[in-house]
Structure 1
Amino acid sequence: MAKSETVVYPGPDTAFEEAFKHHFKALHAYAYTVLRDELMAEEIVQTVFLKLWENRERMAIHTSLRAYLYKSVYHESLNYLKHKKVQRKYMAEAMAEQQQRQADEVVADSELRRHLHAALLRLPEKCRTVFQLSRFEELRYHEIAERLGISVKTVEAHMGKALKLLRLRLADFLPLLIILLPNL
């Protein structure tokens, strides 16, 4: 009578570990040829093995494990490349929008400066002088009064008149002026 042998197969943990050790380097090299990125190739292979482990109980591989792993690495690599392409496209669009906004701001700023200059020239001379000393040289009312030899009340009156006239003449630009020249 022939003696029967009992064959003990390694458990799923051991089989998985051996598959990982056996295929990792070759799969990494394959992923690198697709991605041209050492770290990402490693990440892709690890992701494939992680998915294999997570789905081990409900997965049925109908080809060889080797073929399955190579196909999985290939598809993960392509998905990564597609994702990077979408990211690059989004970044290009975002940069184009930012450049357009900056160009629009330059145009608006230039137009605002032109209108502000024209509005300032239309102010009475004393009002214009007081306004420029206050807003552009950042002098306080009492400093302006001393420099021009007038009272602080007169400075206040000129500023009030200048602000009122500028608000009327620059109504279309008020939102920008509020940012550039507070207290207008």
Structure 2
Amino acid sequence: MFEFTQSDEKELLLQVAEGNEFAFRRLFAAYHQRLGVHILRITQSVELAEEVVQDVFMKIWMTRETLANVDNFKAYLFVLSKNHALNCLRKVSREQLQLKRLEETNIVPFTTEAQVSDHYYNLIDEAIDKLPPQQQKIYLMSRHSRLKYHEIADELELSRETVKKYLQIATASIKEYVHEHREAIALIMALVHFFHFFKK
């Protein structure tokens, strides 16, 4: 187990905030195990606890610039992880209820071999949230509500070409955001596999 003085930890957080992967590995090594124990008490599930730890550290890496303003990282980390763990428990509960209803009606959920990971979907959701309001609205109307260009144009009182252009810009922004942040998934998974290997 790693321990840092307050000044050392502050310096480490500043290094992570600047994108230093080595510093992030040190931070992960120092906290991932005790965080896992903390989350296990909440979830009572080893698998879910591991998922929460991965998600939390991924979020920390993707929003690393904010670490420069964190004075008590342990408290920050544990509050962040507790909230995420409770959200995951609620999600699992909803999924179990939905599955039970599907089983009662003899409906089998459709799945494919090409399912994308939850992490990828989370990145897409984050990218959509960061779009300017008008782009976000047009993107959601097109992709989620399945409206055609002219339908969106009529509802928002815009030209069809403006809708098309906004949608192109929004799609490009989302792709760029996901591409830039895929490194977080790769980095977290590499760290998880590394520490699992040495626990054996």
TM range (shorter): 0.3 to 0.5
When normalised by structure 2's length, the TM-score is 0.41
Higher radius of gyration, 1 or 2: 1
Higher relative contact order (CA 8 A, sep 6+): 2
When normalised by structure 1's length, the TM-score is 0.44
